[in-house]
Structure 1
Amino acid sequence: MLFSESFQMALTSLYANKMRSLLTMLGIIIGVAAVIALVSVGMGVRSNVTNSIASLGSNMLIISPGSSNRGGVRGAAGSMQTLKYDDAKAIKDKIKNIDYVSPSVSSSYQIVYGNNNWKTSVQGVTAEFMSIRSLTIGYGSFITADDMNKRNRVAVIGTTVASNLFAKENPVGKNIRINNQPFKVIGLLESKGQSSVGQDQDDVIYIPLTTAQERMLGITYVQSINVQVSSQEKMEQVQAEIENLLRSRHHILAGKDDDFNVRNLTSLMETVNQSTSMLTLLLGAIAGISLIVGGIGIMNIMMVSVTERTREIGIRKALGATFMNIMTQFLIESMVIGIIGGIIGIIVGCGVSQIIAKVGNFTTVITITPIIISFIFSVGIGLFFGIYPARKAAKLDPIEALRYE
Structure 2
Amino acid sequence: MWWMTLRIALRALRRNKLRSFLTMLGIIIGVGAVIAMVAIGEGAKALVRSQIASLGTNVLVIVPGTMTQGGVRTGFGGVRTLVDSDAKAIMEEVPAVAVASPAVRQVNQVVAGNLNWATLVQGVAPEFQQIRDWQVVDGRFISQADVDNAGKVALIGQTVANVLFGNEDPLDGIIRIRKIPFRVIGILGAKGQTAHGTDQDDVVMVPYTTMQKRIMGITHLHSIVVSAVSAEKTQEAQQQISALLRQRHRIQPDQDDDFFIRNLSDIAEAAQNSARVMAILLGSIASVSLLVGGIGIMNIMLVSVTERTREIGIRMAV
Normalization by structure 1: what TM-score?
0.71
In the other structure, the counterpart of 2:148 is 149
| Matched residue, 1:50 | 49
Inter-partner Cα distance in structure 2 for 1:5 and 1:188? 74
1:117, 1:165 within 8 Å by CA — same for their partners in 2?
Answer: yes
- C-alpha displacement at 1:195, in angstroms? 2.6
Partners of 1:158 and 1:5 in 2: how far apart?
72
Partner of residue 81, structure 2: 82
Between the aligned partners of 2:67 and 2:253, the Cα distance in structure 1 is 19
Larger Rg: 1
- Contact 1:48/1:195 (CA < 8 Å) preserved in 2? no
The equivalences for 1:20-169 within 5 A come to 20-67=19-66, 76-78=74-76, 79-169=78-168
Question: 1:357-376 maps to which residues of 2 (within 5 A)?
Answer: none
Deviation of 1:123 after TM superposition, in Å, equals 0.3
Give 1:15 deviation, angstroms.
4.8
Change (3 A) 1:308 1:264: same
**Which amino acid in the other structure matches residue 211 of structure 2?**
A
Gaps of 5+ in 2: none
For 2:139 and 2:4, locate their aligned partners in 1 and report how far apart those are by CA, in whole Å: 73
CA distance 1:12–1:127, shift in 2 (3 Å): farther
**1:6-405 residue pairs with structure 2 within 5 A?**
10=9, 13-67=12-66, 76-78=74-76, 79-310=78-309, 313-314=312-313, 398-399=316-317
Equivalent residues of 2:117, 2:160 under 8 A apart: yes
- Which amino acid in 2 is paired with 1:134? D
Post-superposition shift, 1:8? 7.1
Q: Deviations over 1:112-162 (max 9, x none)?
A: 122121111100000111111121112111100010011111001112111
Q: Which residue of 2 aligns with 1:385?
A: none
Contact 1:103 1:222 in 2 (8 A): yes
Matched residue type, 2:262: R
Give the structure-2-normalised TM-score.
Answer: 0.90
RMSD of aligned C-alpha atoms?
2.4
Q: Counterparts of 2:234 and 2:191 in 1: how far apart (Å)?
A: 26
Give the CA deviation at 1:215: 1.1
Q: For the residues of structure 1 that align with 2:107 and 2:123, how far apart are their CA atoms?
A: 11
Quick check: 1:67–1:80 contact (8 Å CA) kept in 2?
A: no
Write the deviation string for residues 166-204 of structure 1: whole angstroms up to 9, x where unpaired: 221111112221111111111112222233333222111
Find the aligned partners of 1:158 and 1:310 in 2 and give their Cα distance: 75
Aligned-residue offset at 1:310: 3.3
CA distance in 2, matches of 1:253, 1:5: 91
Structure 1: runs of 5+ lacking an equivalent? 317-397
2-side partners of 1:68 and 1:35: how far apart?
44
- Counterpart Cα distance in 2 of 1:230 and 1:12: 71
> Are the structure 2 counterparts of residues 278 and 251 from structure 1 closer, same or farther at C-alpha, using a change threshold of 3 Å?
same
Which protein has the bigger helix share? 1
Q: Percent identity?
A: 49
